[in-house]
Structure 1
Amino acid sequence: VAFFTRGERNGTSSNRNSLSGKAADVNPVVWTQVYGLLITYSPDYKLDNPNTAQSRAANFMARQVQGALVDVPESRDYDVAYQFVQEYVMAILYYSTDGPNWDRQLGFMDNGDDVCAWHETVDDLVSATFQDVTVAGGFEQGPNGHVIAGGEDSVMGVQCNEAGEVDYLVIPNNNLKGDLPPEVGLLEALQHVSLYKNKISGSIPNAFQYLNDLHTLVLEDNEMTGSIPDYINEQWTELQLLSLAYNNLDGELPDFDGMDKLTQLALNHNGFTGAIDVFDNTPLLEVLLLSNNELDGSFYPSLLQTIPVRLFDVSNNKLTGQIPPDFYDVEIVDVHNNQLSGNVPAVLWDDYDYAIRFFSAYGNPNMEGEIPLHIGKLTALRHLDLSGNGLTGSIPPSVNHLFNLEYLYLGNNDFDSQDFPYLADLEKLQELSLRACAIEDAIPHWMGEWISNLVLLDLSDNALSGVIPPNLSQLIEMRFLLLGNNQLEGPIPDSLWDLRNLNMFTLDHNDQIAADTSIGDVCADDGPFDLQLVVADCSLECSCCDECCQPNDTSCGVSNSPNLDHGYDRFGFDFSDDLSFEATGDDDDDDQDN
């Protein structure tokens, strides 16, 4: 059966044995034989045009025949001709994607090798290469949300199964430029395809619907356009892993009903629209990445009752509705920067072991109510970010029971006036932001004695009083210390300058700090500090301040930046041996996933 029907050959030439596409060094008789076979698999107007990838690939095959390296099959039937055809297809891919300028040639177009030998073993591109998910075992979301997997000695290029059929096409990060040719759809045995991080453009070819044995398809981090084909849930039923992230794709999400082997799906950083009610019958789906799109549907109560998702990221969309309570059974939940409303789901104080380890819901200003009283029951939590919402009440004491917590951001809500929350038992804490939490209290002394791993401490925009505790100097890992816009008083303790790793220090709008206080030691050119930002009141001696603030100048100081809390470099948080979420703190608002 012809791969292309005549209805698909718009503008075809009238002579099916045309020599117009033949190169000068190709024998006309050989060309006629090759052309007569390949006309079954490529439209004649492509073969007749010497500038197309199809014509160039056909000439390559004709030279192979002339050199007695291959024979023209006696039948056009694919079952007979597949070895000839698949080498032709790989040659089309090579020419369609500017093969001569690939970073690695990978043995492509080597006249002495069968197409099954067109590959290399590499070590330096492991993180960008997908292999068999049953072998690679595991999933990571790496820097900037990229999906990565693989092991040592990864094979890059083409591999074949025992029957000599191409079943593996993995060419990541190799400077491929151009559209994917539809002839790739002829390779019916293909199981694993990864063209991650290239410059591939155009849409997913309609002919890819014939790749019915696909297990892995990774087209992430390219320049592709168009929508996800509607045939996906009917033709790609064997698919286990699909990543189309970081492209320019758009349209509504197709129905994934019937994809009962799909375990990992990454569609983040595109322009998809519509609802997310298309995953009801994906019973093995564990990883769902939909962040940074234009999705505007509503959460619905049964969302997580039909899929066993472990990593759920829909951040930076326009989703509405309330967070279902069963989200606490998901290891990683990121719903920040949407239009969610309602309360943070209640936590029942019972003997249930909740799975959640990462929960980020900042930037949903219509979320209201109080932080759940028994939130301390979520003992697996390592990352909790509820900042920038409309939460009220106060920070509950049970937060101090989150003993595994490494990252806690609760700032910029609508809390009532409160004392400094007791968090002395959070000994693993690395980043703490209680910015704008309506705290009217002194900075507690236990801060420097018990939470010794702090790298970031943001207490700005409160009503803190008293002196800066000298024992903050024990926080030797501290890089970001933000104390601006409070009511602190007294001199700055000299011991504070023992924080040799300090990168950012703000003390602006603290009118009661002694006017004769100097932070000159921090500013010394020959000092040990690597300060990148210093902000203080103009009454203080500070020769290296990036900005000094007058008492009534509310526009002064970094406290006015709404993105301050989420603009730092973040640290990776590994939650288990085969699942992790690594945040990066990209300064681009659209990429602030973490």
Structure 2
Amino acid sequence: MASPLIILSFFILSFSAPSYSSNQTDITSLLALKQAIHFDPNGALNTWNRTTNFCRWNGITCGRKHPDRVVAIDFDSQGMMGSLSPHIGNLSFLRSINLRENSFDGPIPQEIGLLRRLQFLRFDNNSFSGTIPENISMCKNLVYLNLIDNKLSGNVPPQLGFLYNLQSLYLSANTFSGRIPRSIGNLTSLKHLSLAACGLNGEIPESLARLSNLTFLQLGGNNLTGTIPPGLFNISTIYHFGVDSNNLHGSIPSTIGRTLPNLKLLGLAQNQFSGSIPISLANASLLEELALSLNSFTGLMPRWFGKLLRLTYLYVGDTLIEDDISSISSLTNCTNLQILDLSEIALSGAIPDSIIGNLSVHLEFLALARTQVHGKIPPGIGNLDGLTYLNLRENYLEGPIPLSIGRLFNLQFLDMTGNELTSDIPSTFGN
């Protein structure tokens, strides 16, 4: 029979043994990650040494069920420089890795596909290069994938379509080539899809219309062609719909304001859309940003703009709209309006003082360049004391420059060239 002293000695040894020695795989992998980082300005890795339990290392979280296994790495905005070691694939219990806003470069290791428990991956705002590893599709539990603003190239791998649990896919601001994979339409749990400014071309796949849970869609700043698949306009959950700065054409469905009732942002600017601006948008009462500029929309200035009481940004410039400048009178109802761009559309007539002076007190940006307006600049413009940008360039304005412009103390940009103004520059400009 063992003596009490032997039993006591066993318990002392059991509780005093360092816990980190029970998992050499995670320790070795973490130290390999550290070795691949050559600049750590905030000293985030100072605690990464063998004298401290690795579960207490800065940026490391270990599990509750498996207290000696790493489940999360978080080095958000630490200014680190270096590469990501392939040893990352040995952290088999890892569920979350966040390296946002650092300067990691080189490829994303293929070994990332070994992390079968991974749910959250955030590498945005770094300098990762090369292609997206195809075997990332083996991370079947992935819910969030963010690779925005890196130097990734090649095609967007169709294998991403196997990530059936994915809810957020952010790939914007990279240098991909090729088309949007049709397989993205298989991600029926997807809520956020961001593929803006990343070098994609070809048509928008009709399969995207299967993303019935989508709330955020951003495809702007590419070289997409063709028309928008009609089914995308029937995903009633969408609140952000951005396809600006492409080569898309066709008309916008007349029912858009009813089929997309949750719209907060509609970005269609800088394409080749034609036809009239759908009157049903008057039903989109949540709309805050509406960008229609640089298209071939025709017809009159919509009076129903005034029903969009939450509107903050309105871009209608450089379209084929024709009307009298008094048609903007309904915009005085938009008391949250901050940006109003009506440049290069045919809005003839004199600018009514009663309208211009009653625009939103929050207005910061007003562009009426090349609109064919004439008459005097209304003194009421001085009431817009929040203006930082005022462009009245190349119209038929005449008479003196109103002294009230001198009250625009926040003004940073003023252009009135190409008019028929008379008199001296007012002394109030000294303000």
The normalised TM-score by structure 2 is 0.88
**Amino acid paired to 1:272:** F
* 1:105 has 2:35 as partner: no
| Cα distance change of structure 1 residues 349 and 117 upon mapping to structure 2, 3 Å threshold | closer
Which deviates further from its counterpart, 475-484 or 101-110? 101-110
For 1:432 and 1:72, how far apart are their aligned partners in 2? 61
Instruction: Give 3-state SS (helix, strand or coil) of 1:368's partner.
Output: strand
* 1:250 has 2:157 as partner: no
For 1:209 and 1:330, how far apart are their aligned partners in 2? 31
**Amino acid paired to 2:249:** S
The within-5 A match list for 1:379-458 is 379-416=285-322, 418-421=324-327, 422=329, 423-444=331-352, 445-458=354-367
* 1:210 has 2:149 as partner: no
Kept in 2: contact 1:168–1:192 (CA 8 A): yes
Instruction: Give 3-state SS (helix, strand or coil) of 1:362's partner.
Output: coil
Q: Which residue of 2 aligns with 1:346?
A: 254
Identity score, percent: 27
Q: Which residue of 1 aligns with 2:9?
A: none
Q: Which residue of 2 aligns with 1:144?
A: none
Q: Which residue of 2 aligns with 1:85?
A: 25
For 2:150 and 2:166, how far apart are their aligned partners in 1? 21
Kept in 1: contact 2:234–2:260 (CA 8 A): no
CA shift for structure 1 position 348 = 6.2
For 2:34 and 2:359, how far apart are their aligned partners in 1? 60
For 1:71 and 1:490, how far apart are their aligned partners in 2? 84
Which deviates further from its counterpart, 260-269 or 394-403? 394-403
Q: Which residue of 1 aligns with 2:61?
A: 159
For 1:348 and 1:171, how far apart are their aligned partners in 2? 42
Q: Which residue of 1 aligns with 2:36?
A: 96
| Cα distance change of structure 1 residues 328 and 299 upon mapping to structure 2, 3 Å threshold | farther
CA shift for structure 1 position 270 = 0.7
Which deviates further from its counterpart, 298-307 or 263-272? 298-307
Q: Which residue of 2 aligns with 1:358?
A: 265
Instruction: Give 3-state SS (helix, strand or coil) of 2:134's partner.
Output: coil
For 1:72 and 1:405, how far apart are their aligned partners in 2? 56
* 1:293 has 2:198 as partner: yes
| Cα distance change of structure 1 residues 69 and 247 upon mapping to structure 2, 3 Å threshold | farther
**Amino acid paired to 2:47:** F
Kept in 1: contact 2:112–2:136 (CA 8 A): no
CA shift for structure 1 position 102 = 4.3
* Equivalent residue for 1:179, pick from 83, 86, 94: 83
CA shift for structure 1 position 107 = 4.3
| Cα distance change of structure 1 residues 464 and 226 upon mapping to structure 2, 3 Å threshold | same
| Cα distance change of structure 1 residues 450 and 178 upon mapping to structure 2, 3 Å threshold | closer
* 1:114 has 2:53 as partner: yes
Kept in 2: contact 1:282–1:307 (CA 8 A): no
Instruction: Give 3-state SS (helix, strand or coil) of 1:280's partner.
Output: helix
CA shift for structure 1 position 333 = 1.5
For 1:172 and 1:349, how far apart are their aligned partners in 2? 39
* Equivalent residue for 1:239, pick from 142, 152, 166: 142
Instruction: Give 3-state SS (helix, strand or coil) of 2:113's partner.
Output: helix
Instruction: Give 3-state SS (helix, strand or coil) of 2:382's partner.
Output: helix
Kept in 1: contact 2:172–2:194 (CA 8 A): yes
| Cα distance change of structure 1 residues 253 and 494 upon mapping to structure 2, 3 Å threshold | same
For 1:363 and 1:519, how far apart are their aligned partners in 2? 38
* Equivalent residue for 1:467, pick from 364, 376, 379: 376
Kept in 1: contact 2:380–2:404 (CA 8 A): yes
TM-superposition CA deviations, 1:20-39 (whole Å, max 9, x none): xxxxxxxxxxxxxxxxxxxx
For 1:436 and 1:252, how far apart are their aligned partners in 2? 38
Greater share of strand: 2
**Amino acid paired to 1:160:** C
| Cα distance change of structure 1 residues 471 and 114 upon mapping to structure 2, 3 Å threshold | same
Aligned residues: 406
Instruction: Give 3-state SS (helix, strand or coil) of 2:375's partner.
Output: coil
Kept in 2: contact 1:253–1:278 (CA 8 A): no
Kept in 2: contact 1:473–1:496 (CA 8 A): yes
Which deviates further from its counterpart, 423-432 or 103-112? 103-112
Kept in 2: contact 1:300–1:321 (CA 8 A): no
Instruction: Give 3-state SS (helix, strand or coil) of 1:319's partner.
Output: strand
For 1:472 and 1:418, how far apart are their aligned partners in 2? 18
For 2:390 and 2:401, how far apart are their aligned partners in 1? 13
CA shift for structure 1 position 302 = 4.5
For 1:71 and 1:337, how far apart are their aligned partners in 2? 55
Q: Which residue of 2 aligns with 1:331?
A: 239
**Amino acid paired to 1:86:** D
| Cα distance change of structure 1 residues 419 and 498 upon mapping to structure 2, 3 Å threshold | closer
| Cα distance change of structure 1 residues 244 and 348 upon mapping to structure 2, 3 Å threshold | closer
TM-superposition CA deviations, 1:430-455 (whole Å, max 9, x none): 11111011111121222212533211
| Cα distance change of structure 1 residues 420 and 103 upon mapping to structure 2, 3 Å threshold | same
Which deviates further from its counterpart, 198-207 or 376-385? 198-207
Unpaired runs of 5+ in structure 2?
1-15
Q: Which residue of 2 aligns with 1:129?
A: none
| Cα distance change of structure 1 residues 420 and 446 upon mapping to structure 2, 3 Å threshold | closer
Kept in 1: contact 2:285–2:308 (CA 8 A): yes
Q: Which residue of 2 aligns with 1:488?
A: 397
Unpaired runs of 5+ in structure 1?
1-67, 74-80, 120-156, 528-594
Kept in 1: contact 2:87–2:111 (CA 8 A): yes
TM-superposition CA deviations, 1:154-185 (whole Å, max 9, x none): xxx11101221001111122233222111111
| Cα distance change of structure 1 residues 200 and 72 upon mapping to structure 2, 3 Å threshold | closer
Kept in 2: contact 1:115–1:158 (CA 8 A): yes
The normalised TM-score by structure 1 is 0.65
Greater share of helix: 2
**Amino acid paired to 2:241:** V
